[in-house]
Amino acid sequence: MRYSFALMLAWTSFADAAEPAVWPQWRGPTRDGQVAGPAWPDKLKGDALQQIYRVELGPGYSGPIVAADRVFVTETVDKKDEVVRALDRATGRELWRQRWPGALSVPFFARANGDWIRSTPAYDGERLYVAGMRDLLVCLDGKSGAILWQFDFMKEFGSELPGFGLVCSPLVVGDALYVQAGASVCRIDKNTGKLRWRSLADGGGMMGSAFSSPVLSELGGRKQLVVQTRTKLCGLNPDDGVALWEQEIPAFRGMNILTPIVYDGGLFTSAYGGKTHFFNVGDSGGKPAVREVWTGKWQGNMSTPVVVDGHAYLHLRNQRVMCVNLKTGKETWTTSKLYGKYWNLVANGDRILALDERGTLYLLRANPEKFDLLDERKVSDAEAWAHLAVCGDEVYVRDLAGLTVYRWRK
């Protein structure tokens, strides 16, 4: 059994066709970039993808969160405040906004892409959980925008300001909120904002701020919280935070950015300046054990892949796109053409949508035999680093200047 956000929260179910599809967290309802619902069309150009509305915003990297009747977006304003807005899902009309002081300047080698809020929030149907750059977690009432509680990791732990800000996107399961912050991994009571446990604490600062986000799964017959820190991949007991196993993942300057991919009892990851790995997580003498199944020379950059029929579709540091068989580690194809510095990907059946940082949206057929591009379309003049949200026939694109909502026509 694979644990997912959608399985934990009944309101995310697509079983009732009358309920609109939602996008409640990083990488969607099941936190793996997979989209349920009708098959996507074959085209993007012309009338195939029609703009519904656009809302101008300050810069931000956070992906939009889509609820049944509203959309939540974040932004950095005047390089000093973080702002959350709730918009009417149908029209884009602002329903409320909330703000707090929150800004920092990232290291020089990453500054070209901006100092904006990075984490994608999580929504449980009532409350919105927003991670601010200065290691601050804020819980807001989804209807009114009122702040219900805040957790300041630096104040609570005496930790350093993370070099890149709080990047991890929170995971909510039941009453638990899991987040990699405060140079550690934490479980917070989502209702009270109280700390339940803290694990994998390190020195913080430049190497303490995780880029990855946690996932909950069952591996080796055990429910595990899988996290990737700047230096290693780990499985934690979600109840008490005890480390079940750890695996070093070498990367340049600790650039372990991808969210781990769970597939068939194992884990896929790829590191900037390192390699691509697939590990099996099993049992050895009654204890969890991790074993490397295969490794490849390819370097994933910042783009967490999607998996379709046992193949991972991955955007690489060298700006090419590749397909790899997860069971064998065999590279089935790699493009010769370059496709931008970053892709965020979602999949529905055998179709993949990918948005690059230049604002180009690509529609692919998931084909392990060749790069099968069906269509492409420019959807943003501003750079687009935030993750797509796709809900039914609606496509939400957050670029550095605003949010544009499109509707797919068949």
The answer to whether residue 320 sits within a structural domain is yes
- Tell me the range of 102-106, 115-119, 319-323 where mean pLDDT is highest: 319-323
Position 201 pLDDT exceeds 50 = yes
What pLDDT sits at residue 105?
A: 83
Position 35 pLDDT exceeds 70 = yes
Range of the domain at 395: 305-340+343-384+386-410
CA atoms within 13 A on the CB side of 395: 27
What pLDDT sits at residue 137?
A: 98
d(CA 401, CA 380): 9
Query: 171-173 and 176-181 as β-strands: parallel, antiparallel, unpaired?
Result: antiparallel
The answer to whether residue 87 sits within a structural domain is no
Average pLDDT over residues 213-231: 95
Average pLDDT over residues 234-248: 97
Q: Which residue has the higher pLDDT, 31 or 114?
A: 31
Position 6 pLDDT exceeds 60 = no
Counting the structural domains of the chain, the total is 1
Average pLDDT over residues 20-47: 95
What pLDDT sits at residue 269?
A: 97
The answer to whether residue 405 sits within a structural domain is yes
> Three-state SS for 253?
helix
% of the chain residues with pLDDT over 90 = 83
The answer to whether residue 292 sits within a structural domain is no
What pLDDT sits at residue 405?
A: 98
The answer to whether residue 10 sits within a structural domain is no
The answer to whether residue 392 sits within a structural domain is yes
Please answer whether residues 85 and 72 qualify as being in contact, where contact means their C-beta atoms are separated by less than 8 angstroms: yes
Position 113 pLDDT exceeds 70 = no
pLDDT confidence bin for 154, thresholds 50/70/90: very high
Q: In what order do the strands lie in the sheet with 171-173?
A: 171-173, 176-181, 184-189, 195-199
pLDDT confidence bin for 253, thresholds 50/70/90: confident
Average pLDDT over residues 18-28: 93
Position 3 pLDDT exceeds 80 = no
Position 5 pLDDT exceeds 50 = no
Q: Which residue has the higher pLDDT, 34 or 3?
A: 34
pLDDT confidence bin for 107, thresholds 50/70/90: confident
d(CA 90, CA 70): 8
Average pLDDT over residues 140-164: 95
The answer to whether residue 94 sits within a structural domain is no
What pLDDT sits at residue 15?
A: 40
Position 1 pLDDT exceeds 50 = no
What pLDDT sits at residue 18?
A: 66
Q: How many beta carbons lie within 10 A of that of residue 22, not counting itself?
A: 25
Average pLDDT over residues 71-75: 98
Kindly report the CATH number assigned to the domain that includes residue 395: 2.40.128.630
pLDDT confidence bin for 51, thresholds 50/70/90: very high
Average pLDDT over residues 175-199: 97
The answer to whether residue 406 sits within a structural domain is yes
pLDDT confidence bin for 192, thresholds 50/70/90: very high
% of the chain residues with pLDDT over 70 = 93
Average pLDDT over residues 91-99: 98
Report in angstroms the alpha-carbon separations of 226 from 179, 216, 243, 324: 11, 6, 10, 22
d(CA 118, CA 298): 26
What pLDDT sits at residue 4?
A: 44
User: Mind listing the pLDDT tens digit for each residue in 327-365?
Assistant: 999 999 999 999 999 999 999 999 999 999 999 999 999
